[in-house]
Amino acid sequence: MQTKLTELLGIQYPIMQGGMAWIADASLASAVSNAGGLGIISAMNANADWVREEIRKCRTMTDKPFGVNIMLMSPHVEEVAKMVAEEKVPVVTTGAGNPSRFVKMWKEAGVKILPVVASTALAKMVERAGADAVIAEGGESGGHVGDLTTMALVPQVVDAVNIPVVAAGGIADGRGMVAAFALGACGVQMGTRFLVAKECTVSAEYKKKVLAAKDISTMVTGRRLGHPVRAIKTAYTNQYAKLEADSNYPDEKLEEFGVGSLRKAAKDGNAEEGCFLAGQIAGMVKEEQTVAEIIADVMKGAEKLMEGVKWDV
C-alpha cells in the first residue's frame, strides 16, 4: 500500500511503532522495520551514549529505515538531539513538547522529522519550523496525553497543515487504520498493540496486564503536575490518584512518588509499584504475536475494508 507516509519514509506499510519509554529498544524497532513498518527506538530519559549504542545495535539488526523518539522533557535532550544528527538516523519523532529549536540541525543532517502534536497550534508551529510530517496523537493513547481525542484532533490537524499527518491514539487494527484514512491521515502509529509483540522485550507482567485489560481498564493520572499519563489501573495508579486529589499532599512528594515507576513496570515487572502505560485499545489486544503477524493482520483488515474504495491518502 502506497501513501504519502510510505513515500516519505521509504517503507512498505503505512505503520509506525510508538516510541515507548523503557520498552521500544533495538529489538522491537528492528523487528518493525524488517516487517515493513517504521520501528522506533525510545530515547526516553537516557543519555546520548545509551541511545547511540541502541542505534548501532539496531543497524546490525536491520538495513531498513528506523527512527528515534526524543522525549523533549528528558534531562539529556540537548546531547541526544545532537547525537542523532551525528549518527544521521533516518527519522526522528518527538514527544511531550515543541522540537522547533532542533529542526534546522536535524534537517542539515538529512533526518526526517515527525513531531507528535496534540493540538493544531503546535502542528502549525512545527510545520513552519520545517517538520516533514506530524503525528496527531489523541488522548486515547498510552503515556503522556493531550486533551483531544483522535477523532477530533486528526481532521483538524489535517485541515491546519499542508504536510502529511499520521494518526495515533486508539488504533490497533485494520478498522482503526481505515478510520484514520477517512479522517485524512496517511498512516498510523501504534504503541499498545506492539507492546505484546514476541520481539518486544518488556516484562512478562506488563504483557500479562495488557492482555488481561478490558475497555475501561486504563486511567489518566498526573494532571495536577501538568504531565497527564494514561496507564492500566493498578494499586499504583489508585494510590497516585488518591495523593493527587489530596490538596495537603505537596507537589514535590507527588513527583517523587512517580520516579522510577515506568522502569519498575517495563523492566522489573513490579505489579505493585510499576506504572504500566497503555492506551484505551488495550482491551482489544488479546494475543501475543510476532511483529510480522501484527502488521499482516492490520493490513489484511484494512485492505478488506478498502476493497473497491479509492482514496487519495
Candidate residues 9, 114, 118, 177; the one interacting with ligand TUI per rule CB under 6 A: 118
Strand partners, 66: 39
Closest CB to ligand TUI among residues 226, 308: 226
Cβ-closest position to ligand TUI: 143
Q: What is the DSSP string of 227-267?
A: --EEEE--HHHHHHHHHHH-TTS-HHHHHHHHTTHHHHHHT
Dihedral sign for Cα atoms in the order 228, 173, 119, 151 = negative
30 and 61 in contact (C-beta within 8 Å)? yes
Can you tell me which residue has the cell 498512516?
187
The binder of ligand TUI chosen from 14, 67, 99, 143 (CB under 6 A): 143
Q: Which spans in 62-119 are helix H?
A: 77-86, 100-108
Pick the stretch among 140-148, 170-178, 201-209, 281-289 that binds ligand TUI (CB under 6 A): 140-148
Among the listed residues 37, 39, 146, 187, the single contact to ligand TUI using CB under 6 A: 146
Residues 148-207 close enough to bind ligand TUI by CB under 6 A: none
Give residue 85's Cα distance to chain centre: 21
Binding mask of the shown chain, residues 198 to 227, with x at each position contacting ligand TUI by CB under 6 A: -----------------------------x
Mapped onto helix, strand or coil, the DSSP state of residue 189 is: strand
Contacts of 111 (CB under 8 A, 6+ apart): 84, 85, 88, 89, 90, 91, 92
Query: Is 264 an interacting residue with respect to ligand TUI (CB under 6 A)?
Result: no
At closest approach, how far in Å is the CB of 259 from ligand TUI?
9
CB of 309 to ligand TUI, least distance (A): 30
Q: How far is the CB of 250 from ligand TUI (least distance, A)?
A: 18
Residues 8-67 interacting with ligand TUI (rule: CB under 6 A): 21
Angle, helices 120-129 vs 150-160, to 10°: value is 40
**Residues 98-117 within binding reach of ligand TUI (CB under 6 A):** 98, 116-117
Q: Give residues in contact with ligand TUI (CB under 6 A).
A: 21, 71, 95-98, 116-118, 122, 137, 143-146, 227, 229, 277
